[in-house]
Amino acid sequence: MPGRRRAWPLGALLLAAGAVLAVPLAGLACSSETATTVTLTSSENPAAYGDQLILTATVIPASGTAIPSGSVTFEDSGTRLGTVTLGATGQAALVESGLGAGTQAVSAEYAGSTDFASSVSVALEQQVTVQGSTTLLIPTVNPAPYGETLLFVVSVVADGGTGVPTGTVTLISGGSAVGAATLAGGTAAVVVSSLGVGSHALTADYAGDANFSPSVSGAVTETIGTASTATTLTVSPTTAATGQQVTLTATVTSPSALPTGSVTFSAGGTSIGTASLSGGAATLAACFAHSGTEELSAAYGGTVDFSPSTSATVALPVKGSSKCTSGCVTTTAVLSPSAAGISLDSFQSSAPQPPELITVGAAPQSVDAGQSVTLNAVVFGLSGAPFPSGTVDFLQGGALLGSAPTTQVPTTNDALANLRILLSAGSYPSITAEYLPNASAQAWYTSATSSSSVAVTVTRVAAPTTLGVATSLNPSPQGHALIVTATVNHPSSSLTPTGKITFTVNGTKPEAVAVNSLGQASVTLSTLAAGAQTLAAGYAGDDNFAASSGSTTETVTGSGAPTPTPQPTATPKPTSTPQPTSTPKPTSTAQPTSTPLPTSTPKPGATPAASATPTATPSPKGTTTSPAPAAVIVPPVTTTPPSRPSGVSGSGAVNPDQFDTSAVPPIDLISLVSGIHMGNGLQIIVFLVVGNALLIAAIVVAARRGRKLTRRSLDWAGGGPDPLASDPR
């Protein structure tokens, strides 16, 4: 029939909806992960640069009581600090001491697991203040003769934490700078060669850097004495005739500098002339009028900086009786080799020799247990030789404490070695330094030990501590499992606090927990009352660390019990199986014997009960015992599938304007939702959107057809012409 062919659009729409909703969405992975939140706390905020911070991340599931597993990555403004595996409480702790001074944006990212979704914490603004510093000045040679090139070792140590200062240090004498150097490993050797004879109060001025504050050392008195000299006299020729010109040359040397001043020449104890030193030498031309042997000598008179000296006597045989010509006494100057640095002797042998001098020092010489000490040694090179490359061993009574490589001191051929070391509590009365040349230096140097030693004392004391208290979530809902963590903050970089931390809530319910290897202890609370709660902790101290206490205020909001652990599948189960409220019984294929009026309303009894049992197959006549529902599809309010429309006609004939949906099976949305990947959230959302759109379209089409059917049925029942006969369709 022509009208029957027009019934296909609704059936096609419903079939298309079933096909789309029954096929899994390609490319969408099944996901039943529980959402998570990451909170991040710091053991000390603000903290000084180099202080040991413990960053603690807590991964909190959105529901359930299961504890997340996996790892957390900590970052500072995008720079990775480290990755830590979650512990049994869902927490991960990272020890960090390298955050620069300033406000640092620290975050923690949970990588997720098969059961829990990944998440990132809100950035924690960690305040890092500039660390204090202490500058120590160590002279290597004191007293020293005038003119020696002196080396002063300057060590800058942090007042706390594990940081190492950088930057420059300047040596000050009488308000003026006499030398400067750049720190390496917190230590520098300052070269000084301009100190005059006398006592000089020297200080080292550290300029500071981005992480350490400036500091000035205590004054060190360096005593400079007059430089020793030696005068030698040579005579040319060694035998002379009376009246012959003879050249007398006096050379004045000093082990550390080039002497200045004048030399007096004598013959038989009587002065025969004076000449000024130039380049360390002075000459006199003379002639002698009488034959015999002249006893010649030269005496250097000295200066403020150089001591006097007299040469040995030189005998000059003089023969003949002629008199000297006038003007034969003259003076000339010759250049002598300049002195070299701090060298005490000239390097004259090609065979390897020990370095000129090895000194040893320590900064500071007295520390508390857990604080570092910097051991240093200066190895003075030989004149004319390269700097002493190799290593320096630091020894206590023959026992090796540690080793450090040597580095060249700028502008010299000397070497510096320094070792930052943690010593256990006790006394170290005689620490020495032994130089060991490497392959390139073995042609010049042999091994040697410092001529002096240094004493260091490490005292076991109760170092001061502070106690930081933080919670995993603040504010937190009432009934939520809250983790309270207390951290013992301390200045030591090697020792870890031991003992217990006692927790109290509003001064009651004390609970003692042993600290772990990080100096932390935690308790889990889930019975806090609503309101502001004071959570306090007290550390009892141990042999190395003093007691301390701390607290925090936790805001507890609302009320509620913890969310139960989620089921293995994320698909929600309905409390009761919903039944279609408008779906006819299986007997709905029977044809009604009467045509309902447009205003007719099905009786309440016409709706099958949810628990009704289907009846036996009806006879072909299909006479129903209850009124048939109106031919209008009502949009579903819940997930109950829509009713299939029933045919309405007289005498068993099929109404051509009525939809024939007998070939379309009912669409059970609950079954479809349960059957698509067992709870994929995104897929279900797409399913509902597409399904509802198709169903609404079907409802609109059916409503329009139903209104047309009703009008035609009324016209036909009133004796009018057959509406089908005039329907052009």
pLDDT digits (tens, 9 = 90+) for 449-460: 999 999 999 999
The fraction of the chain above a pLDDT of 70, given in percent, is 70
Phi first, then psi, for residue 368 (nearest 5°) are -85, 155
**What one-character-per-residue DSSP string does 84-144 give?**
EE--TTSEEEEEE--PPSEEEEEEEEE---SSB--EEPPPEEEEEEPBPEEEEEEESSSSE
Residues with Cβ within 8 Å of 145's Cβ and at least 6 positions away in sequence, in order, are: 224, 225, 226, 227, 228, 254, 255, 256
636 pLDDT higher than 70 = no
ω into residue 475 within 30 of 0, thus cis?
yes
pLDDT of the residue at 402: 97
**What one-character-per-residue DSSP string does 274-286 give?**
EEE-BTTEEEEEE
Please state the rounded mean pLDDT for residues 78-90.
Answer: 95
Condensed to tens digits (0 to 9), the pLDDT of residues 657-695 reads 343 434 444 444 444 444 444 444 555 566 667 677 777
pLDDT of the residue at 251: 97
Residue type, 487: T
Element (H, E) at 522: strand 520-525
Give the residue with greater pLDDT, 626 vs 190. 190
717 pLDDT higher than 60 = no
pLDDT of the residue at 194: 83
**Domains of the chain by residue range:** 1-29+631-729, 31-129, 230-319, 353-459, 462-560
Please state the rounded mean pLDDT for residues 34-54.
Answer: 95
Assess contact for 544 and 499: CB atoms under 8 A: no
Assess contact for 627 and 604: CB atoms under 8 A: no
Q: Domain spanning 31-129: which CATH class is it, in words? A: mainly beta
190 pLDDT higher than 50 = yes
Give the residue with greater pLDDT, 395 vs 6. 395
The bridge status of strand 176-182 relative to strand 168-173 is antiparallel
Residues with Cβ within 8 Å of 349's Cβ and at least 6 positions away in sequence, in order, are: none
pLDDT of the residue at 722: 54
Give the residue with greater pLDDT, 29 vs 482. 482
Fold of the domain built from segment(s) 353-459: Immunoglobulin-like (2.60.40)
* Dihedral class, residue 341 (left if φ above 0, else alpha if ψ from -120 to 50, else beta): left
pLDDT of the residue at 615: 41
pTM of the model: 0.66
Beta bridge partners of 47: 128
What CA–CA distance (Å, rounded) separates 417 from 394? 10
314 pLDDT higher than 90 = yes
Q: How confident is the model at residue 32 (pLDDT cuts 50, 70, 90)?
A: confident
Q: Could you give the 3-state DSSP secondary structure of residue 476? A: strand
Phi first, then psi, for residue 53 (nearest 5°) are -100, 145
Q: How confident is the model at residue 706 (pLDDT cuts 50, 70, 90)?
A: low
630 pLDDT higher than 60 = no
Most confident range (mean pLDDT) of 200-204, 595-599, 679-683, 701-705 is 200-204
98 pLDDT higher than 70 = yes
Condensed to tens digits (0 to 9), the pLDDT of residues 124-142 reads 999 999 999 999 999 999 9
Q: How confident is the model at residue 655 (pLDDT cuts 50, 70, 90)?
A: very low
- The label of the residue with tokens 């996996």 reads 70
What CA–CA distance (Å, rounded) separates 273 from 267? 10
pLDDT of the residue at 193: 85
Beta bridge partners of 468: 487
Q: Domain spanning 462-560: which CATH class is it, in words? A: mainly beta
Q: Could you give the 3-state DSSP secondary structure of residue 23? A: coil
Distances (CA, A) of 616 to 356, 382, 491: 120, 120, 89
Condensed to tens digits (0 to 9), the pLDDT of residues 466-482 reads 999 999 999 999 988 89
Average pLDDT score, the chain? 79
pLDDT of the residue at 69: 95
Q: How confident is the model at residue 559 (pLDDT cuts 50, 70, 90)?
A: low
Residue type, 406: T
pLDDT of the residue at 653: 40
* Dihedral class, residue 555 (left if φ above 0, else alpha if ψ from -120 to 50, else beta): beta
HSE of 365, CA atoms in CB hemisphere, 13 A: 10
Please state the rounded mean pLDDT for residues 525-536.
Answer: 92
pLDDT of the residue at 694: 79
pLDDT of the residue at 257: 85
Most confident range (mean pLDDT) of 353-357, 461-465, 652-656 is 353-357
**Does 31-129 match 353-459 in CATH topology?**
yes
pLDDT of the residue at 339: 37
What CA–CA distance (Å, rounded) separates 42 from 177? 43
pLDDT of the residue at 687: 61
Maximum alpha-carbon separation in the chain: 183
Give the residue with greater pLDDT, 573 vs 88. 88
Give the residue with greater pLDDT, 502 vs 566. 502
R_g of the chain, CA atoms, integer Å: 51
Quote the CATH superfamily of domain 230-319: Immunoglobulins (2.60.40.10)
Element (H, E) at 420: strand 415-422
Return the ∠ at Cα 702 (arms to 698 and 707), rounded to 5°: 155
- Across 316-325, 405-414, 604-613, least confident range: 604-613
464 pLDDT higher than 80 = yes
Number of neighbouring beta carbons within 10 Å of residue 457: 17
Q: Could you give the 3-state DSSP secondary structure of residue 389? A: coil
pLDDT of the residue at 591: 44
Residue type, 174: G
Distances (CA, A) of 539 to 31, 489, 491, 512, 533: 45, 11, 16, 9, 20
- Across 11-25, 541-555, 592-606, least confident range: 592-606
626 pLDDT higher than 60 = no
Element (H, E) at 695: helix 681-717
pLDDT of the residue at 322: 55
pLDDT of the residue at 657: 39
Condensed to tens digits (0 to 9), the pLDDT of residues 228-280 reads 999 999 999 999 999 899 999 999 999 878 999 999 999 999 999 999 999 99
pLDDT of the residue at 708: 63
Tokens read off for 700: 């609109």
